[in-house]
Structure 1
Amino acid sequence: MERISFTEIPQEMMGKLIDLENYINNSEININLLELMRLRVAQINGCAYCVDMHYKELNHLGETDLRLSSLIVWEETNYFTNKERAVLHFAEKLTKLNGKPIADNDYEVIKKHFEKKEIVILTLAIGQINTWTRLMKTFQIEAGNYKVKG
């Protein structure tokens, strides 16, 4: 059962989160890559609402069932590009900080594929999906009802 509904979240806060989401989505980072990263972080954090949402968004963008179902074991497959693998690796490291800084070798993985501005945007995007998953898990927003717009 929902503890707090979307309508009960202060609109000033939601507006800022949505503005940030729009900035990230309209950045130079490919939306498919962002959604892939979001789905993986949602899986890590066990957020059913976010898994449902980003699975549906990726499906709408034409992502294959094979890649969607294999995302949880992406390191064991050859279905993802080196750039995607770098983002997934970086997202996992930022999501599972365990009180430690990002190691130089982990940072080098992302640096091979992205410019500094893009790394900043990716870092912000990873932080943003971690924020969303924490909100959804705390408020217990019901999964399964998300509808893709457009």
Structure 2
Amino acid sequence: MVLTIEEILNGVEDYKEIYLESLEDTVFLRPLSKGEWEKTNSIRQESLGDYVTNEKAQAVSRNQRVSNIESQLKFNIKQNADADFKAQVEAIFISCDNPGNEKPPKRTDIEKLPAGIFDEMYEKVKELTGIDDDVVLEDDVEDFPEN
């Protein structure tokens, strides 16, 4: 069977009743679409500022080139933490906006959640959305060619 685009997009609206250990109860959450997830990433990246790279290349011989790269990155750690929190609030807010919740929480309600409940809800939203940011680098390091 081949899925239609309508059936694929309907998966985003397919909310689920999720058990939260921190609440000892369930909540209705739905996965985020790619566009919605990118919206949260944009919020997170607002605080990163500008990254400037200046490269100075000098030709030493025909086949060699000496290159000096100077990079600068300035960002405010507090602004970065604030933006990350705001992005997580947005992800939970979007996920809670589904037909299973008669009255979805407001952003301000989500901001007031106890830390344990907030963190677990955010992890469940990521899980439903298919986001896995637990990067395991050991395999990549083993496969990396040595000089």
Task: Note whether the superposition's TM-score is higher than 0.5.
Answer: no
With structure 2 as the length reference, what TM-score do the two structures score? 0.25
Higher RCO (C-alpha 8 Å, min separation 6): 1
Compare the two structures and name the one with the higher strand fraction: 2
